[in-house]
Chains A and B, each alone.
Chain A
Amino acid sequence: MDFYYGLAQIIGIHTLLGLSAYIVLLTGQVTMAQAAFFAIGAYAAGMLTVLAGWHLVPALGVSAILGSITAAAVGFPALRVKGLMLVVATLAFGEGVRLFFFNFDYQVAKGEVKVGPLGGEGFRQIRFFPENGWTTGEVMLFIWIFAIAALALLWWFDRSRYGAVLRAVGEDELAAQSVGINLTAVKVSAFSVGGAIAGIGGGLYAHYTTHIEHANFNVLVATFAIAYPIVGGLSSVFGTVLAVIFVQGFLIEGLRFLGDWRNLLFGALIVLAMNVRPSGFFGKRRA
């Protein structure tokens, strides 16, 4: 049973990651920086619970705020450039953050051992869950509370005026601007909401694995973040969840019996899925 709980935990965390990219993609911007906000959230929450002895919930709050502030800070200059330039700018930012954590040392002696992030070795011993005696099932529930909250928030956004504004910007910036929508404000707000969600996801991820290092936040993670909403389709948040389950549950866990061949099939299936359904699982068919 613990295996399925573990799988559900990973799916919950990746749902948060995917949703953080979903809201940005709604505005028509392709972001490769989600792994960076994920990393910032992970390191912040880890340092607060391990070094400062905080409870996880306020630590996640700080993760969300930090992720959101960083996203807004990146958003302002980066959103001056559009489309594919933004892909590259956010990609470079993501790599920059990864390299920052690669060179980041902040160790504090705690009893016998020194704890804290140590450059390329990473940040070990983020043991909030085991120290407080949480079972796998409880951890899973805890993760899914956040995942469902994020889902509900975005689902509600989609039905509100704000969601309509986001989609208007995504469909046609010129038309949106001409009806009086402030493009920069909309994009930066979507970026910050995405940054907050990614920050929470990162904080949960750090405590789920107990050991994080810079390689956990590479370009591949950023790619996964945008892959979920694109594969799932942008017309509904549930597409993203379905895509996470498809990728994490089926492609990664379900095909484990194929051994080495699984990795080969993984890329090929993404190519195939995009050829067969260019607008994602839940996407509208375009003429």
Chain B
Amino acid sequence: MLDFIQATSDGVLFGATYALIGIGFTLVFGVMHKLNLAYGAASIGAAYAGLLILGAFWAEAPAWIVFLGAFLAGGLIGWLVYVTCFHFIPSASALATLMATVGMLLLIDEIVVHATDGLPLNYPALFSDVMLHLGDYYLRGDLLLVFTLSVLCMVGLLALLYRTRLGLATRAVAQQPIAAQLCGIRVARVNAMTFVITGLLGGLAGAMIGASVGALSPLLTTPLTIKGLIVTVIGGLGSIPGAIVAGLLVGGFESVFQQFRGVTERDLYVMLLLFVFLFFRPGGIFAAKGGRD
């Protein structure tokens, strides 16, 4: 029982990063009804970019500066992905966009491998020596920071979406792109801003993953992409609260199974969880009534 609660709490804290990635997928889907498969790679790539660019002229940068670097690099990479994979491809060619993001995924991965010779890089963490003891349990300080920062980011995002004019425009484009355009909203600009915002979130998620794993490696990309997509589907496509809840759920779930069934079987159970959801609740946790695909 002790192990179970400990594994769950560790997993839920780490699950905050999955929630961030899930939000990124879901937000792009909500606004453009397209899938950005390069997002996981872009997030890890942003963490790399922040670390490498900073490392070039400030070798001993404090951890929070490195995180900030990843955050900003994420926004830039998000914009680049928009320009290369979405802006010029007609919106009717959904398959072409999907394929272009796959090409971008491979490209980002290869740039990372090329820049680092495929070797893992150490990534700084904050509060890694802090342990909060609660009776028999403990909470890792670095995971707590990951969780707190991710939650702050989500709150910031929700405030942006529901309290600002840009958020209003984003929601309008998501609901009815043509009507939004008729109201004088520049759809292309809103789409680009969505990519920058999700890119910022992704950069932070990449940094948080680097901080809690202690290292960055190109091998992180594929599992992150798959987990992010699973979180998106379990939460319900286009639903931000859904992505948050599903991210924490998947994090806790995989950590429990890692504890009891080992790391090689862990992901098998996550896939099973997804199929349970697809079967019994295909629209996700927070499915809109009569929602679209």
Contacts from A to B (Cβ < 8 Å):
25, 30, 77-78, 80-85, 87-89, 91-93, 95-96, 99-100, 102-103, 119-120, 218-219, 223, 226-227, 230-231, 234, 260, 263-264, 266-271, 273-275, 278-280, 286
Contact = CB atoms under 8 A, between A and B. Distances in A.
Interface string B232-266: 11000100000000000000000000000000110
Interface in B97-113: 97-100, 102-111, 113
A40 B160 CA distance: 47
Nearest to A229: B95
A100 B109 CA distance: 26
Interface stretch (B144-152, B161-169, B273-281): B273-281
A277 to B, nearest CB: 8
B103 A91 contact: no
15 contacts: A82-B293, A84-B29, A84-B35, A85-B237, A88-B274, A99-B265, A218-B222, A219-B225, A227-B102, A267-B107, A267-B108, A268-B103, A270-B100, A271-B85, A271-B104
Nearest to A275: B88
A92 B230 contact: yes
Nearest to A234: B95
A80 B278 contact: yes
B176 interface: no
Contact of B96 (A92, A230, A269): A230
B271 to A, nearest CB: 4
Interface string B15-52: 00000000000000100000100000000000000000
B106 A99 contact: no
A120 B264 CA distance: 9
B107 A77 contact: no
Interface in B133-177: none
B84 interface: yes
B126 interface: no
B268 interface: yes
Contacts of B237: 84-85
A266 B264 contact: no
A113 to B, nearest CB: 25
B28 to A, nearest CB: 11
Contacts of B278: 77-78, 80-81, 85, 89
B51 to A, nearest CB: 20
Contacts of B232: 88
A85 B233 contact: yes
Given A85-B278, A230-B95, A260-B114, 17 more contacts: A30-B95, A30-B98, A83-B293, A84-B29, A84-B293, A85-B282, A87-B35, A89-B274, A92-B226, A95-B271, A103-B264, A103-B265, A103-B268, A267-B105, A267-B110, A274-B85, A275-B88
A93 B271 contact: yes
B99 A77 contact: no
Contact of A267 (B98, B104, B268, B271): B104
Interface of B: 29, 35, 84-85, 88-90, 92-93, 95-100, 102-111, 113-114, 222, 225-226, 229-230, 232-233, 237, 264-265, 267-268, 271-272, 274-275, 278-279, 282, 293
A85 B293 contact: yes
A119 B108 CA distance: 30
B268 A88 contact: no
B99 A279 contact: no
Contacts of A99: 264-265, 267-268, 271
Nearest to B278: A89
A271 B100 contact: yes
Contacts of B109: 267
B293 A274 contact: no
A77 B293 CA distance: 15
Given A120-B264, A230-B99, A275-B100, A91 B293 contact: no
A221 to B, nearest CB: 12
A223 B222 CA distance: 12
A143 B278 CA distance: 37
B113 A263 contact: yes
A274 B86 CA distance: 10
Contact of A286 (B92, B230, B279): B92
Contacts of B107: 264, 266-268, 271
Contact of A231 (B93, B99, B222, B293): B99
Contacts of A274: 85, 89, 96-97, 99-100, 103
For A103, A234, A270, the residue with the greatest tally of chain B CB atoms inside 10 Å of its CB is A270
A244 B197 CA distance: 36
Contacts of A219: 222, 225-226
